[in-house]
Amino acid sequence: MTKIVESWVKFRKEPLRASFSTSLRSVNELTIVEFHIKTDDGHEVFGETVETPAITGDTLAQIEKDLRTVLPEALKNKEFETAASFFNSHISKLDVTKSAKCAVDIALNDLQAIIENRTLGQLLGSSVKHVTTDVTIPLTEISAIPNLIAERSDFPALKIKLGKDLVHKNIEKIRLVREIIGVKGLIRVDPNQAWSVEDSIEFLHHIEQDSLDIEYLEQPISAHNKVGMAAIRAQCSTKIMADESIYTVADLEELVNVQAIDLVNVKIIKSGGITPSIAIIKRAKELGVDFSIGSMMEGDKGVLGAYLLAGAYKPDYCHDLDAAWWALSTRFTYVEGKVSI
């Protein structure tokens, strides 16, 4: 039986092609945290994570501490059978950041794939050659939008980041986007919790009355205000997506119970890894809740996990996997709105 005997942490910097700005943060460079493990039979693998303190609350210092102290003790000399069984038995209940758990779980899935002489895609059930994705228009002035859209002209869907502007200003931005891309292009709107319930409802009423046709509104208000999300959904016909509101299966069930959502954005860093992300996806399917697979601004290892989950569980959907497009150096290729590796 394979045992994990050693672990260590590395860091690397990855610059972005441009500033990625939302109502929560602005990022120009990523610090990727690598968590490496070695087994008694000579296998070496690693997982990755990043800090997203404005979203998850997990800081780089907290993540590093977890990966250097608590998690190595949880791993060392434990017998390994499968990633899911090991994660659920030894990792899931630990009082550490989900970001750190994510790095460990990616490594565990890689280890299982190597032991079973399979690719990670084969292990997760993904056989597709590419996945369709949207691309983000970051928070910006309206005058910059035409050029940003021109740089993204081959993507089928645009995710528009909006902030605390007055409602009519945000409507102007969406009106301009619709004029540029035409009636067939998909528009997704993401304020990243910047709005009130009242402003969200006013925004959607204008969108619907003016036939500006957005696919969904993602996390318009505070992640903790699930009742507020339900109030928005009750008064508007546009689909409501949860992102920062959903970290766990319990979060999903609470959102469903208060009728707050039409779909959820599943991200492996938020969930704590591939294993808990699969649990959320499976529960969403049981509850009849639609879902999209997304990625943080993170390294290729993290994007790969999300990409493979998208290919395994919803291959024909346009997901939210543009993180590697923003990187100056990546293994991924983006062609005509499709990401592949």
Each residue's pLDDT tens digit, 20-66: 999 888 999 999 999 999 999 999 999 999 999 999 999 999 999 99
**Do 324 and 259 share a domain, yes or no?**
yes
**Do 243 and 138 share a domain, yes or no?**
yes
Residue 293, SS3? strand
pLDDT at 1 over 90: no
**Do 285 and 155 share a domain, yes or no?**
yes
**Do 61 and 154 share a domain, yes or no?**
no
What pLDDT does residue 208 have?
98
Average pLDDT value for residue range 213-231? 98
Nearest-angstrom CA–CA distance, 23 and 164: 7
What pLDDT does residue 271 have?
98
CATH number where 52 lies = 3.30.390.10
Neighbouring CB atoms inside 10 A of 322's CB total 24
**Do 161 and 23 share a domain, yes or no?**
no
**Do 233 and 266 share a domain, yes or no?**
yes
Write the CB contacts of 285 (distance below 8 Å, at least 6 apart in sequence): 291, 313
DSSP letter (8 states) at residue 91: I
**Do 107 and 134 share a domain, yes or no?**
no
What pLDDT does residue 185 have?
94
Tokens of 164: 């605390």
User: Which of 104, 123, 142 corresponds to the end of one domain?
Assistant: 123
pLDDT at 156 over 90: yes
> The domain containing residue 94 runs over which residues?
2-123
Cα 244–Cα 246–Cα 251 angle in degrees, nearest 5 = 140
Nearest-angstrom CA–CA distance, 219 and 264: 9
Find the helix or strand (DSSP H, E) in which 20 lies: strand 2-21
Write the CB contacts of 56 (distance below 8 Å, at least 6 apart in sequence): 97, 98, 99, 247, 269, 270
Let me know: does 66 contact 98? Beta carbons within 8 Å: no
**Do 25 and 136 share a domain, yes or no?**
no
Nearest-angstrom CA–CA distance, 295 and 271: 11
What pLDDT does residue 24 have?
86
pLDDT at 237 over 90: yes
CATH number where 176 lies = 3.20.20.120
pLDDT at 125 over 90: yes
Ramachandran area for residue 336 (φ above 0: left; ψ -120 to 50: alpha; else beta): left
**Residue reference for tokens 């993401």:** 190
**Do 162 and 116 share a domain, yes or no?**
no
pLDDT at 110 over 90: yes
**Do 192 and 282 share a domain, yes or no?**
yes
What pLDDT does residue 178 have?
98
Nearest-angstrom CA–CA distance, 144 and 141: 6
Number of domains the chain is built from: 2
Tokens of 130: 């590419």
Residue 45 pairs in a beta bridge with 37
**Residue reference for tokens 């891309």:** 181
Average pLDDT value for residue range 217-245? 98
Let me know: does 302 contact 296? Beta carbons within 8 Å: yes
**Do 51 and 178 share a domain, yes or no?**
no
Let me know: does 317 contact 292? Beta carbons within 8 Å: yes
User: Which of 123, 151, 185 corresponds to the end of one domain?
Assistant: 123
Neighbouring CB atoms inside 10 A of 234's CB total 11
Alpha carbon 89 to its chain's center: 25
11: exposed, middle or buried (C-beta count within 10 Å: 0-12, 13-18, 19+)? exposed
Average pLDDT value for residue range 254-278? 98
What pLDDT does residue 92 have?
97
Q: What percentage of the chain has pLDDT greater than the value 90?
A: 98
φ and ψ at 78, to 5 degrees?
A: -85, 140
Nearest-angstrom CA–CA distance, 269 and 184: 32
**Do 94 and 190 share a domain, yes or no?**
no
User: Which of 123, 151, 183 corresponds to the end of one domain?
Assistant: 123
Strand 79-80, strand 131-132: pairing: unpaired
Nearest-angstrom CA–CA distance, 236 and 199: 12
Let me know: does 213 contact 192? Beta carbons within 8 Å: no
Residue 34, SS3? strand
